[in-house]
Structure 1
Amino acid sequence: MTKITLTIDCGNAPKKEFIKKINIAFAKGNSDFLLESVTDGIVWNIIGDKKIEGKEKLREELKNMKAQKVSELILDRILTHGKEGAASGIVKMQNGKNYAFSDFYEFSGAKATKLKSITSFVIEI
């Protein structure tokens, strides 16, 4: 089971709550929620590694990621403004590796609840 540690309070901010759910879904491998939460033309740019374009490519990537089990997600910060948002924290893997991350999200519109793009910066710590 994946431990979730939140050092942030989403309070009454729907987009912050949505980004929290996105991060938890990634940590728990909840592909269905993730695929429902993105546009068909989603672009996920993992800086220095790869760029995934389109919902079908994302589906394939999520299948590949299932082999990597997360033991803990520490979510430190979530920011949102208009059609943009960001989150940062640490992911601890079951294999003992730990990664710090910062993700930047672009929604399909200011009031939308679907992601158009994600840009991820990930470093092993």
Structure 2
Amino acid sequence: MTKITIHSDCGNSPKKEFLKELNIAFATGNSDFITANVTDKIVWNILGDKKIEGKEMFTKELKKMEIEKITELILDRILTHGKDGAVSGIMKMQNGKEYAFSDFYEFSGAKGTIVKSITSYIIKL
């Protein structure tokens, strides 16, 4: 079971709530929720590592990530404005490693919550 810690300012708007749920889905391996909420042409740029393009490749990458279990997800900050959003926090892994992350999201439009692109910065602590 993944422990989830969310700071109090992380859920007072519909888009913030969505980004909170999306990050929880990443941490718990709920790839169905994630893939249902991205465009067919999703681009995920994990800086310094790889760039994943298209829903098929994105789904394959999510499946690979399920092998590494996240034991704790700490969401420090969630920001949204128009068609942009950002989330930062810490992931603690089952193998004892910890990572700080910041993800920047671009939505397909200012009104919706379908993700068009993600840029991820990940630092091993």
TM over 0.5: yes
Q: What residue in structure 1 maps to residue 41 of structure 2?
A: 41
1:10 and 1:44 mapped to 2: Cα distance? 23
Normalised by the length of structure 2, the TM-score is: 0.97
Q: Which residue number corresponds to residue 55 of structure 1?
A: 55
Judge which range, 8-17 or 63-72, deviates more: 8-17
Return the alpha-carbon distance in structure 1 between the equivalents of residues 63 and 24 of structure 2.
16
Give the gaps of 5 or more residues in structure 2.
none
Percent identity between the aligned chains?
A: 72
Deviation at 1:12, TM superposition (A): 3.6
2:58 & 2:123 partners in 1: Cα distance?
21
Q: Report 1:56-71 matches (<5 A).
A: 56-71=56-71
Output the TM-score relative to the length of structure 1: 0.97
Count of aligned pairs between the two proteins: 125
| 1:47–1:4 distance in 2 versus 1, CA, 3 Å | same
Tell me the CA shift for residue 46 of structure 1.
0.2
Aligned counterparts, 1:75-114, within 5 A: 75-114=75-114
SS class of match (2:117): strand
- 1:116 and 2:116 matched: yes
Cα RMSD for the two superposed structures? 0.8
